[in-house]
Structure 1
Amino acid sequence: MSSTPMAEAFESQRDRLRAVAHRLLGSHADAEDVVQEAWLRLSRQDTATIDNLAGWLTTVVARISLDVLRTRRARTEVLLNDRLPEFVVTLDEGLAPEEDAVLADSVGLALLVVLESLRPDERLAFVLHDLFAVPFDEIGKILGRSTDAAKMLASRARRKVRATERPAGAGRERREVVQAFLAAARRGDFEELLRLLDPEVKLTVDTPTGVVVVLGATKVAAGARPAADTTALSRAVLVNGLPGVIAWREDGTPFSVLAFTVTEGRITAITAIVDPAKLARMDLPGPV
């Protein structure tokens, strides 16, 4: 990038733009691509027509990111370049609510997972307003919606995010939903699985070849029974503060680690590691 006043102005914004794109997309690689595309668009723009460069660039990054999110949502499976963050697995000893909340607050997976479960418009409205203080009228213009509609989208997203903050008693209730889901998977009770899954549930699986995402209750429920048949033993755990489970094969080797996001009595996201190499590197408790 040549050292021109425009390039220098862009560079002064790069870190913030990368942060916006990463929060919107959850992928460092995708965020870099979006920021680079924003630079290309700026280089073709008559800068005399830009009154507020920071605002203009934020809008461009947001619109490109929104297109990426909508494209992902339209596909049943996508392969992401980034790996999932490291999991911290602890035994689920029925922590007191305040201890549970401290554990959840100490890691970032809960927020990451719930952001991934939001609809593209909800995620954009929440991230831009609550995390980067972009006014709702500007968010509305990006989305092609009214200011009030943008506020409503952010409010809906905020409720889902706050549902991960674990008010008193919520930890036990979420564990019960997860246990009911696992029991239904073992029984092959498809209708019960659909009842427990949010219609737009997102399953993210870390495999040896990359991160695969499956969208929708029907597809997630259809894959739950075969996965249950593969495992001989399982144990309830906390995964970065979220209710989860470790499953082992008959020979005692770990088969998977799963973390569940439960909102208002339904599972909205499942994050799973099934990569044997990654499982082998994790500090996992053994089967009982």
Structure 2
Amino acid sequence: MSRTPHRTSPPNPTAELFEAERDRLRAVAHRMLGSYADAEDVVQEAWLRLSRQDAAAIHNLGGWLTTVVGRISLDVLRSRQARPEASYDDGVSGPVVTLDEGPAPEDDALLADSVGPALLVVLESLGPGERLAFVLHDLFGVPFGEIAQILGRSTAATKMLASRARRKVRDGERPSGAGREERAVVRAFLAAARRGDFEELLRVLDPEVELAVETPDGPVVSLGATKVAAGAQVGARGAAEGLEVLVGGLPGILSRHEDGTPRAVVAFTVAEGRIVAIRTVVDPARLARMSLPGAG
């Protein structure tokens, strides 16, 4: 099997050309997938495909490789949607959970440290097409026409995907992501869940909202406002008794059992006045590895 070339490999024109692009390709794949291991796999697959081509016949090798990496990454993202049990992280125990004492000037400096991880959190809330369009165009300057070919869409449609993704990233990644507006949306959601107000739940949920619950048996994913709203009504009690926290800079809730052991950690991603993603951890083993505020 052909392997990705190493800097100590014997002179090989194709390998040298690939070597010059490797770091950039890895960066593209990591931004797309949020996993260094998956990014390495994608770069390896791109090398295998290049090794079967006549590199001299490729007019723009950098563009060709970017297209290949984009298509492979898109396939991986779509596969994740079809198999939600897959693990997307790199083995990190979890985001930092701190008490949410409301917006204050000093919070900006603290939250600024989480902007990088926050970007990956928001990117995970995007659909595969949105994520591809945003990463390739806004982060790596790939023309919309080339991205459209990868997606199989028109250039105009691709620009719309990127614009929608850009708004979500702008609102979700900024250091003041857990600001007054975001808190208000989350509180409205929790209040509606406690009242059993289905219509209000639908109002504050994005139509394509994703709920991911990490259970002892693995992740369980629900898609769409109707399913998420129905589930919210059932699980409202724990949230009603929960403590407001910041989960990796995002507004969230920490709830505990009567004996003080953690019951659940919930993080909300809010964009344009609606909740676009909810991440919930109820797995006791994962909760035990997380650094959580005291039982109080």
TM interval, shorter chain, is: 0.7 to 0.9
- From the superposition, tell whether residues 207 and 140 of structure 1 become closer, same or farther in structure 2 (CA, over 3 Å): same
**Range with bigger deviation, 235-244 or 156-165:** 156-165
The answer to whether the aligner puts 1:164 opposite 2:172 as a matched pair is yes
**Range with bigger deviation, 162-171 or 118-127:** 162-171
- From the superposition, tell whether residues 279 and 39 of structure 1 become closer, same or farther in structure 2 (CA, over 3 Å): same
Determine the structure 1 residue equivalent to 2:110.
103
**Percent of matched pairs sharing the same residue:** 70
**Range with bigger deviation, 257-266 or 274-283:** 274-283
Q: CA deviation at 1:128?
A: 0.7
- From the superposition, tell whether residues 190 and 83 of structure 1 become closer, same or farther in structure 2 (CA, over 3 Å): farther
Amino acid across the alignment from 2:53: Q
Structure 2 Cα separation of the partners of residues 262 and 84 of structure 1: 25
The answer on whether the counterparts of 2:177 and 2:249 sit within 8 Å (CA) in structure 1 is: no
Determine the structure 2 residue equivalent to 1:42.
50
Q: CA deviation at 1:185?
A: 2.6
Determine the structure 2 residue equivalent to 1:82.
89
- From the superposition, tell whether residues 168 and 115 of structure 1 become closer, same or farther in structure 2 (CA, over 3 Å): closer
The answer on whether the counterparts of 1:104 and 1:242 sit within 8 Å (CA) in structure 2 is: no
Structure 2 Cα separation of the partners of residues 167 and 279 of structure 1: 25
Determine the structure 1 residue equivalent to 2:140.
132
- From the superposition, tell whether residues 206 and 168 of structure 1 become closer, same or farther in structure 2 (CA, over 3 Å): closer
Give a deviation string over 1:14-64, Cα, whole Å, max 9, x none.
Answer: 332222112112233432332222122112112122122222111001012
Unaligned runs of 5+ in 1: none
Unaligned runs of 5+ in 2: none
The answer to whether the aligner puts 1:220 opposite 2:228 as a matched pair is yes
The answer on whether the counterparts of 1:76 and 1:213 sit within 8 Å (CA) in structure 2 is: no
Q: CA deviation at 1:5?
A: 2.9
1:112 counterpart (102, 111, 120): 120
Structure 1 Cα separation of the partners of residues 199 and 90 of structure 2: 32
Structure 2 Cα separation of the partners of residues 252 and 180 of structure 1: 26
Q: TM-score, normalised by structure 1?
A: 0.86
Give a deviation string over 1:223-280, Cα, whole Å, max 9, x none.
Answer: 3234334578310011122111101112211011111111122101112222322322
1:247 counterpart (233, 249, 255): 255
Determine the structure 2 residue equivalent to 1:144.
152
Equivalent positions of 1:242-281 (< 5 A) are 242-281=250-289
The answer on whether the counterparts of 1:262 and 1:269 sit within 8 Å (CA) in structure 2 is: yes
- Secondary structure of the equivalent of 1:138? helix
Determine the structure 1 residue equivalent to 2:100.
92
**Range with bigger deviation, 25-34 or 129-138:** 25-34
- Secondary structure of the equivalent of 1:243? strand
Q: TM-score, normalised by structure 2?
A: 0.84
